[in-house]
Amino acid sequence: MTTPILSIEDLTDLVAAIFESRGMALADARTVAGVVVAAERDGARSHGLQRMPGYVSSMDCGWVDARAEPRVEQRTPSLLAADAGNGFAQIALARAWDQLAQLARQNGTAVLTIRNAHHFAALWPDVEPFAATGFIALAAVNSRSLMTAWDGTRKVLGTNPVAFACPRPGAPPLVWDQASSTMSQGDVLLHRAAGKPLPPGAGIDRAGQATTEPAAVLDGGALLPFAGAKGGSIAFMVEILTAAFGGGTFGFEDGGAALPGAATSLSNQFLLLLDPAAAGATAFGARVEALLAAIKAGGSRRMPGERRYAARARAATAGIPVEAAVLDELRAFCGTGAPRASR
Ligand code: NDP
């Protein structure tokens, strides 16, 4: 049987219709659908369509408020603090986007914190558009506890990703985006679905013993930080920037595990913009290119983000393959919306 192919527009319409069916406003539904489809389009499948059952069950059980209206408050000349109202973080970011960019242009730097939010997606869609307009952008998100801390044997910290985007003259931004764990939970889910073992060193089981079995990691076990203590340190920093500084919950305080259907993390986001022009860095673009040329001369064959950009170009012409069973499931979700009160 051939795999159905959908255009980016058609898939976005379908995914947005699922969010709308749960009571989300059309513009917000297209915002959240946009990040899901962008991940699928760019070959970042750990955070693409496989996440839709989790989005849906989190809304249907009342863990996420699909109708949430975020509030954005300016705390200082360069600090915005948003409360997502227990909705998806990307909606709060969309509300704050213009003001954040304006503050960064005025002040040379601006920070946005988002608390009381759910972030179930890849992080690069949050930073890449800022870099496409000339800003250096750094973002971090905390998730519910999935990972050990320094030498720990139980999950305490989130897999807390950090994403960085750097503008380039005449080229798409250079963007990297990585979890604090050796692999994201989304990749563990893909391994479980494919019946594949995890690479050694990815996780431990509920007894704290090393395992390559995805189910053992997901069922009471834990992921391990990348590069040992170093990944634990990055995840700690993310908890401080997002939850302590932003006024939200730490990963270990997320109560979703006790609520059947609550798949998304109650998380918090930190986003920093820097304007190279405001800092007087007139040769910034040329300096970035000089560094990248030196890196390539050093033997690096690909830059972070290039794999995604290549997949994006392919999808723009060839569309996005969606397995028939997944397509059936998405269509079924559209018809089963049952908006519920928030938790
Ligand atoms: P990967 O390990 O797949 O990739 C990390 C980064 O390294 C990417 O920017 C990737 O670029 C780059 N990279 C990989 N291989 C190379 C190479 N050979 N040369 C140059 N660059 C390379 O990502 P993770 O598994 O750590 O994370 C996957 C996703 O999970 C992220 O998008 C992250 O935001 C998301 N996540 C989300 C969470 C949430 O709560 N919302 C929690 C944890 C993770 P490229 O993209 O081009 O492959």
Q: Which residue has the tokens 């290549």?
A: 310
C-alpha distance from residue 6 to each of 10, 95, 263, 329, 332 (Å): 6, 29, 26, 15, 17
> For the segment 190-217, what is each residue's pLDDT rounded down to a tens digit?
999 999 999 999 999 999 999 999 999 9
Residue 99 one-letter amino acid: Q
CA of 177 to the centre of ligand 1 (A): 5
Whether ligand 1 lies within 6 angstroms of the CB of 141 is answered as yes
Instruction: Tell which atom from ligand 1 comes closest to the C-alpha of 187.
Output: 25
Ligand 1 probe mutation, 58, 119, 178, 250, most atoms within 8 A of CB: 178
**CA 227 / ligand 1 centre spacing (Å):** 15
Residues 6+ apart with CB under 8 A from 226: 178, 179, 180, 181, 182
H runs (alpha helix) in the chain: 8-21, 26-41, 52-60, 89-107, 124-132, 185-194, 214-218, 229-239, 284-297, 306-318, 324-335
Distance 161 CA to ligand 1 centre (A): 8
Cβ of 264 closer than 6 Å to ligand 1, yes or no, is: no
pLDDT, residue 279, reads 77
Range(s) for CATH 3.30.1370.60 in the chain?
Answer: 70-181+227-304
Q: Which pLDDT value is given to residue 336?
A: 63
Class of domain 1-60+313-343: mainly alpha
Q: Is the CB of 123 under 6 A from ligand 1?
A: yes
All CATH 1.10.1530.10 domain ranges of the chain, comma separated, are 1-60+313-343
pLDDT at 337: 54
Coil vs helix vs strand at 279: coil
CATH pick for 191-224 out of 3.90.1150.10, 3.30.60.50, 3.90.120.10, 3.40.630.90: 3.30.60.50
Question: 328 alpha carbon to ligand 1 midpoint, in Å?
Answer: 29
Q: Which parts of the chain have pLDDT scores under 70?
A: 281, 336-343
pLDDT at residue 339 in the model = 43
CA of 192 to the centre of ligand 1 (A): 19
Q: Where in the chain is the domain with CATH 3.30.60.50?
A: 191-224
Question: Closest ligand 1 atom, CA of 143?
Answer: 40
- The predicted pLDDT at position 1 comes to 74
Establish whether residue 307 lines the binding site of ligand 1, counting it when its CB lies within 6 angstroms of any ligand atom. Answer: yes
Active site members:
46-47, 187
* Residues β-bridged to residue 18: none
CATH of 70-181+227-304 given 1.10.357.10, 3.30.1370.60, 3.40.50.300, 3.40.1710.10: 3.30.1370.60
Which residue, by CA, sits nearest to atom 46 of ligand 1? Answer: 305
